[in-house]
A and B are shown apart, each in its own frame.
Chain A
Amino acid sequence: MTILLVEDSPDDVFFMQRALKLTGATLSVQVAEDGEVAIEYLSGQGAFANRLEFPLPRVILLDLRMPRTPGFEVLKWLREREEFDCIPVVVFTSSREDSDMRKAYALGANSFMVKSGDAAELGAMAKMVVDYWLKFNEVPRPCIEASA
């Protein structure tokens, strides 16, 4: 199962990869270091043309503040395309601003989580994401087959 982690901070990428690994689930974590790369990945362009190597994710972890194309733009782009309707987006950001939460939900985010500075807490969050979005959350079968 593939998770697409859209995150520009190498530290946060490292922490999340570690936390996901510690969940013990069999996962393929793909990293897009900004919004532009994320869009390229999702539309299977350029270096990401091979869907076997870069399959559509079962869930997207999306940072908001990134250079060039910020998270909100990725979210907007994604929700304008029917083929991505069943890919849940978990916003994963350092912002606790009400305005950011409102905007994220309005643009079609499925969940909103605030980054923790505590490794144990981050571990719990990663476990929750895997358990909920990859285990218990249901999506139509064709969507599962399209992703891997």
Chain B
Amino acid sequence: MDAHLPLEDNRVLIVAPSGNDALNTEHVLRAEAVATRICQDIEQVCAEAHYGAGALLLTQEALTNHAVRHLLALLEAQPPWSDIPLILLMSGYEPDSPSFFSIKNLGNSCAVTVLERPLRVVTLVSAVKASLRARGRQYQVRDLLKLREVILGELRERAATLEASQHELMGAKEKISRHAHELEQTVAERTAKLRETIAQLEAFSYSISHDMRGPLRAMQQYAQILLEDFKGDLKPDAAEYLSRIIRGAHRMDRLIQDVLTYSRAARVAMPIAAVDLDKLVHDIVQQYPTFQPPTADVQVDGPLPRVLGNEASLTQCISNLIGNAVKFVRPGEKPKVRVFPGSINGNIQICIKDNGIGIAPENQQRIFNIFERVHHDREYEGTGIGLAIVKKTVERMGGDVGVESAVGRGSTFWIKLPAVKEQI
């Protein structure tokens, strides 16, 4: 079996039917290191050409009409890069002989070199080498074309991959935008729902403050009027009971108001700005007679720094805390309260220290929960909401609240808030 070797690309296929022409030619060419193959007829040439041919060499005797037809068919079937050199060894032919027409015909289809016999070895060798050289160029073109095909194939593959990934990308993009749209919709729906809930809550607390407090006001005032307008007619017990009705109604009213304040602290907008704490605390102390001598001593160790917070809410928090500080003292003792600043990690701490009854460790967290109380109303009255309001409000301002205390040794409540970055 003939394997197709690169060697065969450069061999010369020889057809020389008469005498020793074939062997002689082969001998001469091999001496010049040219590969050769002797073929018996044109059919064999066509078969061998399939495995590679650097050039074809035919003698005049081989150039029959039959052979020319086959050659033309072979040349016709060549790929575009191929132009097989054809060397014809003629001996004195005439322009009107059949061979002449054959040569003309073939010359239109390939590169024909005609050598006339007798010829010198050097002529034959140089003609064959020139043909092989030209053929070598064709092979280079063939290889380049092959390489081009490989590269094109690779490019096509990459283009396909690219297209696929682009397609995938588009799909993903579409998916993302669909998700984003869905998310937007969900957010819009939730926001609408939330707004509705807030509106309902507002309507609810509005209703509480108006409709529920109305009857309470009525109870309290009718009892007061009874006490006032029918003083002489009332037995002492009756007067006492009326006072209790008044106290009950009053307490209920305060409870409702505190719950409303708490729910407002949890939901209203709380714009944050720089607050002058020093002025705020002094204003509070001046505003409440219970924070002043002779009832209490509230000392402010100023100047207190400026903090980031909401002024109205902060006023409420600090009055609640000072209010607690003066309230929870041993009976008969005069409240002594000190307000002073501190700082932790760039945050401002406002401390409110009292000389009160103190808080047991197990109650120190509990007291910040809504409705949690440590004492009975007859000892220290209150609704159990004040500190919950403080906690909720301070947290909404981005701060923190806490207490350090020991039973019988007073308490120090503190509020921690972001400091104002002062410009120099």
Contacts and interface: CB of A to CB of B under 8 A. Distances in A.
Interface stretch (A48-56, A83-91, A111-119): A111-119
B209 interface: yes
A118 B220 contact: yes
A117 B209 contact: no
Nearest to B213: A94
A65 B249 contact: no
B210 A117 contact: no
Contacts of B206: 95, 97
Interface of B, helix, strand, loop or mixed by DSSP: helix
Given A11-B218, A95-B206, A97-B206, A117 B213 contact: yes
A43 interface: no
B151 interface: no
B214 A11 contact: yes
B221 interface: yes
Nearest to B264: A97
Interface residues of A, number: 18
Interface string B180-212: 000000000000000000000000001001110
Interface in A52-78: 65
B209 A94 contact: yes
A84 B383 CA distance: 45
A96 B221 CA distance: 20
Contacts of B209: 94-97
A102 interface: no
Nearest to B253: A117
Given A18-B225, A118-B224, A119-B221, A95 B210 contact: yes
Contacts of A9: 214, 218
Given A94-B209, A95-B209, A117-B253, A122 B221 contact: yes
Contacts of A116: 217
Nearest to A119: B224
A47 interface: no
Contact of B221 (A95, A97, A118): A118
Contacts of A18: 225
Contacts of B228: 119
A122 B221 CA distance: 9
Given A94-B210, A95-B209, A117 B225 contact: no
Contacts of A11: 214, 217-218, 221-222
A50 B126 CA distance: 143
Interface-centre pick from B211, B214, B217, B253 (highest chain A CB count, 10 A) = B217
Interface string B18-50: 000000000000000000000000000000000
B216 interface: yes
B175 interface: no
Interface of B: 206, 209-211, 213-214, 216-218, 220-222, 224-225, 228, 249-250, 253
Interface of A: 9, 11-12, 15, 18, 65, 93-97, 115-120, 122
